[in-house]
Structure 1
Amino acid sequence: MTALALAPTEPRARFRDLVAAEWSKLWSLRSTGWSFLLGALAVVAFNAGQAWDHYRYWTSYDAASRAAFVRDGRALWDAFTGNAAMVLILWAAATGAMAVVTEYGSGSIRTSFAAVPARRSLMAAKALVVAVATTGFGGVVAGVSFWSSQAVLSAHGIGLSLGHPGAVRTVAASALLAPVSALVGLALGTLLRSGAASIVASVVLLLVVPAVTSEKRHWSAVLAHLQPERAWQRLLQTGNWEVPYPWTAGGAWLVYATWALVAAGVAILAVGHRDQ
């Protein structure tokens, strides 16, 4: 009677092991550290530069303009400017896209799928890593931007503290704009598998569409309010803002959450329906 030798079966990878592997994979690339550093410097520089501009020309403003600046809390707009938000969106979307596109380009994605047949679990781990890394990045640049911009303005006594109404929301909204954009980039990278195409699509979806929508008509205002970039603008608003079709800060937070969850879901589901 011959005994049959049974090959030992590999234990199924735990999700936390997949997350650890994806985290190591992200930071093993030399370009990752440089990308995070240069992105942070660019975002903070735009914000500090705007604050410096107001500091430098403060004495040339008339009394009414200076009073309005203080009354309306416009120092918060120096804490995170529109130009900085645009750079953050572009950086985060590109980071999210390249997290998956580089693997498709090098062919290493085949090795990953061979090692982990549960593709959706693997992509869920990648999405989580991208979200955590970019959330940390967003928190650092938003916090440093707030501190540096208000420190500059404080030289004229017009800087604000985190205790000022709307300050914490400004920092949080600016920080979370990063993971939302990164997950959109990840989803587009999974669908298109091309770095250039994914970045172009991200620009169109996250920046061009909000730019061409207007709040003067109801249908256009609804479309505008569904965009993350417009949600960020709404969350930075303080006081009474007169707009044709007003909406709430809660609605803006919901837009953030919806885009993040839908983008992650698209990336996770799409990878299970592709050959590689």
Structure 2
Amino acid sequence: MTVTATPPASTPVRPAAPAEPRARFVDLVAAEWIKLWSLRSTPWAFLGSALAIIGFNVFTAYNDYSNWPSWSAQQKAEFMPNWAMLDSFTDAAVLCLMLTASAIGALTVVGEYGTGLIRTTFTAVPARRSVMSAKVLVVTVVTTGLGLAAALGSFWLTQAILSGRDAGLSLTDTGVIPSLLGSALAAPVAALVGMAVGALVRASAATMGVSFALLLLVPMGVSDDHYGTAVVDHLLPYSAWARLIQVVEKPAHFPWSESGAWAVYAVWALVSVVITVFAVQRRDQ
């Protein structure tokens, strides 16, 4: 009798699971947008800083409005247009704006490193430079919005007060628009600096300290009275803002152009973006 061997039953081959599509850049931007606004402190930080900035400027303008009758004819003549423009965005206001914006930019980076969420983010999206580019775009947009709101709101209110003394400016006056843009764009520049420092340092307290020193303390420690310090001074974002806020160029030991101040803004922003995007390529913590 012949026995026929039965071949073993073959194991059914399951179809391979379809590969998960790569995250699109627009999806990364949406994710970073949600991360930023999911924190309840975010809208309050924006609102509080905008009100503080506008408050500084309105107080200064009202003070000048009140003191106007006691000023000499020369003081009144010198007030227009540079001091009238500076009333719309004072030193205290730009320091507050830059500090707030740099803190927002820094926290979008160091916040994830502090909680360890950055590992999850990079596991889900291995394209690290794309993730950081999305962060840069979101931070740039929201801080530009903050800067524009603060600059335009301050200008409208302060010049309305000063117009009671026939000392107010309008948007159509020469040099006003560039000055307002210089004040508004100080916010995204400071935010990008904060992001770059955060990507390098990755510790909240140290990041805030370094950002504060770069944006605020160093400019206070140098002057443009001597050539060497003037070169350093003219390379700083705060000093670039101080040049851009001038509707009419003032006499200086070492004068510099408005285009030079815009170039300082651009270089700081570009270098900060490059550092933020590339510093995380091989580091998780």
In the superposition, the TM-score normalised over structure 1's length comes to 0.96
2:162 corresponds in structure 1 to: 153
Letter in 2 for 1:30: R
Mapped partners of 1:44, 1:122: distance in 2: 34
Select which of 186, 189, 197 maps to 1:180. Answer: 189
Is residue 124 of structure 1 aligned with residue 133 of structure 2? yes
2:65 corresponds in structure 1 to: 55
**SS of residue paired to 1:74:** helix
In the TM superposition, residue 158 of structure 1 has moved relative to its aligned partner by: 1.0
> Matches of residues 12-51 of structure 1 in structure 2 within 5 Å?
12-51=22-61
Residue-by-residue CA offset, 1:24-77 (whole Å, 9 max, x unaligned): 11111100000000010111111111101101111111222112213x442101
In the TM superposition, residue 3 of structure 1 has moved relative to its aligned partner by: 2.9
Select which of 201, 208, 213 maps to 1:204. Answer: 213
> Matches of residues 112-261 of structure 1 in structure 2 within 5 Å?
112-261=121-270
Q: Is the 8 A contact 2:176 2:247 kept in 1?
A: no
Residue-by-residue CA offset, 1:216-258 (whole Å, 9 max, x unaligned): 2222211111100000011112334221211111111011011
In the TM superposition, residue 156 of structure 1 has moved relative to its aligned partner by: 1.4
Letter in 2 for 1:150: Q
In the TM superposition, residue 170 of structure 1 has moved relative to its aligned partner by: 1.3
In the TM superposition, residue 275 of structure 1 has moved relative to its aligned partner by: 2.9
**SS of residue paired to 1:242:** coil
**SS of residue paired to 1:271:** coil
In the TM superposition, residue 4 of structure 1 has moved relative to its aligned partner by: 5.3
Residue-by-residue CA offset, 1:2-30 (whole Å, 9 max, x unaligned): 53532321111111110111011111110
Letter in 1 for 2:39: L
Long gaps (5+) in structure 2: 1-9
Letter in 2 for 1:26: L
> Matches of residues 28-107 of structure 1 in structure 2 within 5 Å?
28-70=38-80, 72-107=81-116
Q: Is the 8 A contact 2:119 2:284 kept in 1?
A: no
Is residue 9 of structure 1 aligned with residue 13 of structure 2? no
**SS of residue paired to 1:247:** coil
Percentage of matched positions with identical amino acids: 51
Q: Is the 8 A contact 2:106 2:197 kept in 1?
A: yes
2:3 corresponds in structure 1 to: none
Mapped partners of 2:161, 2:234: distance in 1: 33
Mapped partners of 1:251, 1:9: distance in 2: 50
Letter in 1 for 2:31: A
Residue-by-residue CA offset, 1:185-204 (whole Å, 9 max, x unaligned): 01111211222111110111
Mapped partners of 1:262, 1:79: distance in 2: 30
